Amino acid sequence: MNFSIKNICCIGAGYVGGPSMSVIALNNPSIKVNVVDLNIKRIDEWNDNNLDKLPIYEPGLKEIIKLCRNKNLFFKTSVEESIAEADMIFICVNTPTKIKGIGAGQASDLIWVEASARQIAKHARSNVIVIEKSTIPVKTALTIKTILNCSDTESNLNEKRFYVLSNPEFLSEGTAINDLKNPDRILIGGDDEKSIEALEDIYKTWVPKKKIIRTNLWSSELSKLTANAFLAQRVSSINSISALCESTGANVDEVAKAIGSDSRINPKFLKTGPGFGGSCFKKDILNLVYLCNFYGLQEVALYWQNVLDLNYWQTKRISKIIVNKLFGTITEKKIGILGFSFKADTNDTRESPSITICQDLIEEGAILKIYDPKVSIYQIESDLKLKEKGNNSSKTNSWEFHQNLYDTAHESDAIIVLTEWEEFSNIDWVRISSLMRKPSWVFDTRRIIDRDKAMESGLKTWIIGQG
């Protein structure tokens, strides 16, 4: 079967679907790309004339949207219609961790993947390539194939043929557009040569062929989980050493540089912080733990569970340090929070360590003054689940939302840097000090502030990973 790809449908307009399809559309102007989602508000945001209101903030994304939108890139809610005209369909839906039933708290919930497969089976035409791009457990392709090839769905009378591929994304939020434009590798898993070639041809319009890796379906599915597990492992490893550095007087940056200079290790992902966050690491490791236990590999499951446990410990450790430094109590004390997203250059707060630390400090009685350049008050309200009843302002009983970093310092006892936004590395510490209540503390969990200038302005400082 030879494929001529003229129409692509992507089911899911989230962090994977939106940026991924935008870059594909940019590099394949002759292909029509429809990104579909049942979330009307999200699609409206993708179509907003004000590109600053896109549902996702990623450097470089709005420039691509401006070039391609309504030319060969379209954002729609007409899921069935878009499926019906597609030659190739990407599944980019959410795969959250199950909250009940077998595997609750660890296994991935594939309800949206299954729903997408059933829609494709019902509405797609014949000889369509279906591509898993969501992060999913090993053997999910078998489920998709079974649904697609089942004849008990209406209008599927054994006349349709589907070709299932695995093409996981490896983008990193905050650098997603650069990751998509200049990928380390493109992974395509499948067992049909022609369908693999069809997908490969799309990527070859901007990705060198040597970067395209072919595997079987199961290797491709497992590679995504494994990649995230290994990256998370490195973060937990360097965070464990940061605590040892604080106790011994060593400097974690110097240690990281020394070990990162070893070509067998390299310096990537050796930056300490308050713990990893985002939509993938925790979820994927939990899924890996579940799979290992399912196949009777309890020791392997325990190994990866320890990576998660250490990450949680790091976040809670920071909360305790802050309380101890502020004389053991923070009741009614005001604390400025700089950064709420889980990393810089994204508005994503999923599994952000800032959430846990803020909740800990509120539990201890503090009043938080929160500022993030891209995260909205509504997202913070949702994450903290502490909106004051009947209050529509930017204040709640236990936290306030502020429009700039200097407002967070007014009458505060401490400032905590939780996200590595660039503006936090160029703070006027004399001005900050003049606004704060004495004695004043600065806690830098990202190692980005100018410690000397902060101390010269009269502020007590704590830097993660440094005695």
Active site residues: 169, 224, 280
Indicate the Cα dihedral angle 55, 135, 102, 149, nearest 10°: 110
* Full 3-state SS string of 120-169: HHHHCCCCEEEEECCCCCCCHHHHHHHHHCCCCCCCCCCCCCEEEEECCC
With a CB cutoff of 8 Å and minimum separation 6, the contacts of 460 are 325, 439, 440, 441, 442
| Selection from 306, 289, 302 nearest residue 107 by Cα | 289
Q: How far is CA 317 from the centre of its chain?
A: 23
- The β-bridge partners of 55 are none
**Which residue type does 134 have?**
S
DSSP one-letter code for 399: E
Indicate the Cα dihedral angle 235, 237, 242, 248, nearest 10°: -170
Question: Distance between CA atoms of 279 and 67, rounded to whole angstroms?
Answer: 28
Residue 451: C-alpha distances to residues 237, 284, 290, 359, 443 (Å) = 25, 36, 43, 27, 10
| Selection from 22, 36, 38 nearest residue 71 by Cα | 22
The helix or strand, by DSSP H or E, that contains position 108, with its residue range, turns out to be none
Residue 159: C-alpha distances to residues 74, 126, 153, 154, 198 (Å) = 29, 7, 12, 12, 21
The helix or strand, by DSSP H or E, that contains position 214, with its residue range, turns out to be strand 212-215
**Which residue type does 416 have?**
I
- The β-bridge partners of 212 are 186
Question: Distance between CA atoms of 55 and 376, rounded to whole angstroms?
Answer: 11
With a CB cutoff of 8 Å and minimum separation 6, the contacts of 140 are 110, 113, 132, 221
